[in-house]
């Protein structure tokens, strides 16, 4: 930022006579007419200390930064690249809203749900399952065989299998949550970031395989094989995706870069 700005930050006694653009709304008519003793808004701010002081200072800097950006750049508005939600997105979405709702009604009319026999605590059914969207979580509860056994504890497991499963859920959700803090930069398209796209595809395949593991007693398949495939398939998918995107990347990035530099020629 410019020097003038640092001046206003540190030097509190300088002019309040309006040679600079004011961003704090002072200068306009107040609600109560000020007499000579009444401090102006600006003076009041300057008398604050601590956190509120810092807030005001940052506020001024941010305003001035915006102002500089506006005057400096060729852009009409802030240099944020995005589609306006209105009308671009909203109009499209509203126009297909009725279609979507109709689809839900169609599904409901053609495939109504049924209800099982009433709850009976004394007879455990052979198959206990949650709704399909929780299968992955249910599958993570069945990772018992991966629970490490410690030799010092005489082969005992540190945590119960079930605790281990609950922790696995926390780990998976936690990992997904911190993705934005691991993958930074401006790449957006999958070809621009083969690694993270490959991780994503691996994640999807894992969600499927772990769900199948959850229903292992329904699968016409050897359970050990299923267990191995649960972890092998995602790895295979990750590798294949990575290889494919990496191969596509060169040609694709050439095009993208050409467009990009045509738009923003290097200075």
DSSP H or E stretch at residue 149: strand 149-150
Residue 129-158 contact track with other proteins, rule CB under 8 A, x = bound: xxxxxx--xx--x-----------------
64/206 Cα distance (integer angstroms):
49
- Least Cα distance to 223 among 213, 233, 231 occurs for 213
- Is 267 a binding residue for other proteins by CB under 8 A? The answer is no
Separation of CA 124 from chain center: 41
Residues 146, 158, 179, 218: which binds other proteins (CB under 8 A)? 179
x/- binding map, residues 10-49, to other proteins, per CB under 8 A?
----------------------------------------
254 interacts with other proteins by CB under 8 A: no
Q: 137 or 209: whose CB is closer to other proteins?
A: 137
In angstroms, give the least distance from the CB of 86 to other proteins. Answer: 7
246 binds other proteins (CB under 8 A): no
Closest by CA to 244, choosing from 204, 196, 191, 199, is: 191
Which of 6/73 has CB closer to other proteins? 73
Closest to 1 in 3D by CA, of 84, 77, 58, 44: 58
Contact indicator for 81, 33 with CB cutoff of 8 Å: no
- Return the range that interacts with other proteins (CB under 8 A); candidates 30-38, 54-62, 149-157, 164-172: 164-172
113 near other proteins (CB under 8 A): yes
Q: CA–CA separation, 54 vs 169, rounded Å?
A: 41
* Interface with other proteins, residue 53, by CB under 8 A: no
């Amino acid at each position: 930022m410019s020097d003038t700005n640092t001046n206003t930050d540190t030097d509190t006694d300088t002019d309040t006579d309006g040679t600079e653009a004011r961003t704090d709304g002072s200068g306009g008519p107040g609600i109560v007419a000020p007499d000579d003793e009444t401090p102006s808004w600006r003076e009041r701010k300057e008398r604050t200390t601590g956190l509120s002081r810092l807030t005001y200072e940052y506020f001024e800097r941010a305003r001035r930064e915006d102002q500089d950006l506006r005057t400096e750049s060729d852009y009409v508005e802030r240099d944020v690249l995005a589609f306006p939600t209105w009308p671009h997105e909203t109009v499209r979405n509203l126009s297909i809203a009725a279609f979507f709702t109709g689809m839900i009604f169609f599904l409901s009319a053609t495939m109504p749900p049924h209800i099982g026999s009433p709850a009976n605590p004394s007879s455990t059914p052979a198959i206990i399952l949650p709704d399909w969207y929780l299968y992955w979580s249910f599958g993570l509860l069945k990772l018992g065989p991966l629970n490490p056994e410690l030799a010092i504890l005489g082969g005992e497991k540190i945590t119960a299998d079930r605790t281990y499963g609950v922790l696995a859920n926390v780990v998976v959700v936690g990992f997904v949550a911190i993705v934005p803090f691991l993958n930074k930069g401006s790449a957006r398209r999958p070809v621009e970031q083969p690694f993270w796209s490959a991780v994503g595809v691996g994640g999807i395949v894992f969600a499927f395989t772990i769900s199948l593991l959850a229903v292992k007693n329904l699968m016409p398949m050897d359970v050990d094989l299923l267990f191995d495939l649960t972890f092998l398939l995602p790895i295979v998918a990750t590798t294949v995706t990575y290889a494919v995107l990496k191969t596509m990347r060169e040609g694709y990035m050439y095009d993208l870069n050409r467009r990009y530099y045509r738009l923003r020629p290097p200075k």
